[in-house]
Amino acid sequence: MYSADAIRALDHQWVMGTYRRQEPLFVRGEGAYVYDSEGNAYLDLVAGVAVCSVGHCHPKLVRRICEQAGTLMHLSNLYLTAPQAELAKKLCALSGMESVFFVNTGAEACETGLKVARKYARNCKGSDAYEIIALEGSFHGRTMGAVSATGQPQYQEPFAPLVPGFRHVPRNDSDALKQAFSERTAAVMMEPIQGESGIHPLSHEFLKTARDLCDQYGALLIFDEVQTGMGRTGEWFAWQHDHIQPDLMALAKGLGGGFPIGALLARGKAAKTLVPGDHGSTFGGNALAATAAMTVIEIIEEEGLRQNAEAIGNYFRALLCALKDQGCPIQEVRGRGLMIGVGLSQPVARETAKHALKKGLLVNPVGDHTLRIVPPLILNESQVNQAVAILSEVWKNEFN
């Protein structure tokens, strides 16, 4: 047994230094709380960054994963398995999509969407139609294609040259989007609510413009619902609030409730674009991962967690707006359901998160001016009260 300090030393020496680690060593999770090696409890409003949708160690999810692990964990996608086929059907029923390709991460789900779009455009419009339009401030993952789509130079510059054929326009700028379109456009890729850059919703008008332009030019509309999907905003998928359906949709994060699984869903001709040999994934949608995802969906349905995300999200936003009126350094509160961005009037996001951690609350600073709140969808009112009390105390004590 290593002490917590010894674990920190091991991590520092042996794990590649790509992450700024927080101080505690977490050893256990239950519901909306995690516990460190000294037994301290923390209310978790990060949830593995929008991943642990049904809370930590939900008993039904744990039981199903253990049962499946003891039955059949993995086969190559050379072979059929029941959990994967059943999950594909269920995801299509929830979304009105028509086929699914399973992967392991959000980046891979986005990559798959880019590959489908390029092949689709090549088939329909010729090999010149390879351009992908994405948005400034977007985030689609860290692989070369996904990072080329990501509109944030700090993630791109160290790895240049990027994949060619991407252009970026400002979010919610319909004119810029129109101007970027041409016969060479294969697809437009966007998050209905930009997550990683600070919870910035796209307007209905902008989403509608994107849909119309894609129809006009025969391009595919790709929604990256890796963070917004699986009930977080109150609908299964954020586009369902706007009734603007994409041709391709990327999922991951909350899909497996903590078990790694992602998916790319397609409809129409795009649902049949990839044929044997075009694409593959060794682990994608294996029996264990698919069982985890199916169980997460069942729990969300049985426990009414979409409805809860909407109601508790509204409650949370109202309390945060009240804190603003009491003089806390809040500029605006953004987002939908349990995907909340607290825009701060001073550059104190990191400091706020650091002080909150000491008081037993996990929140995620993105940049200097935003707190990202993406808790488990099981969050209740008394936990919101606890979170708001801690944040209010931090702001009143430290920044007044």
Ligand X SMILES: *Cc1c(COP(=O)(O)O)cnc(C)c1O
Judge contact between 261 and 255, C-beta under 8 A: yes
- Least Å distance, CB 262 to ligand X, is 6
268: left (phi over 0), alpha (psi -120 to 50) or beta: left
Task: Name the pairing type of β-strands 185-190 and 220-224.
Answer: parallel
Closest separation between CB of residue 132 and ligand X, Å? Answer: 14
Output 342 or 390, the one with its CB closest to ligand X.
342
User: Residue length, the chain?
Assistant: 400
| Residue 269 DSSP one-character state | G
Q: State how far the Cα of 254 lies from the Cα of 295, in Å rounded to an integer.
A: 12
Determine the residue with CB nearest ligand X: 106
- CB of 152 or CB of 245, closer to ligand X: 152
Closest distance of CB 334 from ligand X, Å: 15
Give the residue carrying structure tokens 């119309």.
Answer: 212
Q: For the CB of residue 107, give the shortest distance to ligand X in the complex, in Å.
A: 3
> Which residue lies nearer to ligand X by CB, 195 or 313?
195
CB closer to ligand X, 106 vs 313: 106
List of long-range contacts for 23-27, beta carbons under 8 Å, 24+ apart: 23/357, 24/357
Nearer to ligand X, 125 or 142 (CB): 142
Residue 259: phi and psi, rounded to 5, are -85, 130
Residue 2 burial by Cβ neighbours in a 10 Å radius (0-12, 13-18, 19+): exposed
- Site residues for ligand X per CB under 6 A: 105-107, 110, 139-141, 191, 195-196, 224, 226-227, 252-253
- Residue 284 or residue 329: which is nearer to ligand X going by CB? 284
Ordered alpha helix ranges (H), the chain: 4-14, 47-50, 59-69, 82-95, 106-125, 144-149, 153-156, 174-180, 204-217, 239-242, 287-302, 305-325, 349-358, 381-398
User: Minimum distance from CB of 365 to ligand X (Å)?
Assistant: 16
Residue 224 main-chain phi, psi, to 5 deg: -90, 100
Smallest gap from residue 315 Cβ to ligand X (A):
24
Least distance to ligand X from the beta carbon of 51, Å? 9
Q: Which long-range contacts (CB under 8 A, 24 or more apart) does 77-84 make?
A: 77/280, 77/281, 77/282, 77/284, 77/285, 81/286, 81/287, 81/290, 82/287, 83/287, 83/288, 83/290, 83/291, 83/294, 84/285, 84/286, 84/287, 84/290
In the bound state with ligand X, the residue whose beta carbon lies nearer, of 50 and 88, is 50
* Shortest Å distance, C-beta 109 to ligand X: 7
List the beta bridge partners of residue 200. Answer: 194
Of 118 and 253, nearer to ligand X (C-beta) is 253
- In terms of CB distance, is 232 or 355 closer to ligand X? 232
Tokens 């391709």: give the residue.
248
Nearer to ligand X, 56 or 140 (CB): 140
Smallest gap from Cβ 216 to ligand X, in A, equals 26
CB of 191 to ligand X, least distance (A): 5
Torsion 46-52-54-56 (CA) sign: negative
Burial of 136 (0-12, 13-18, 19+ CB in 10 A): middle
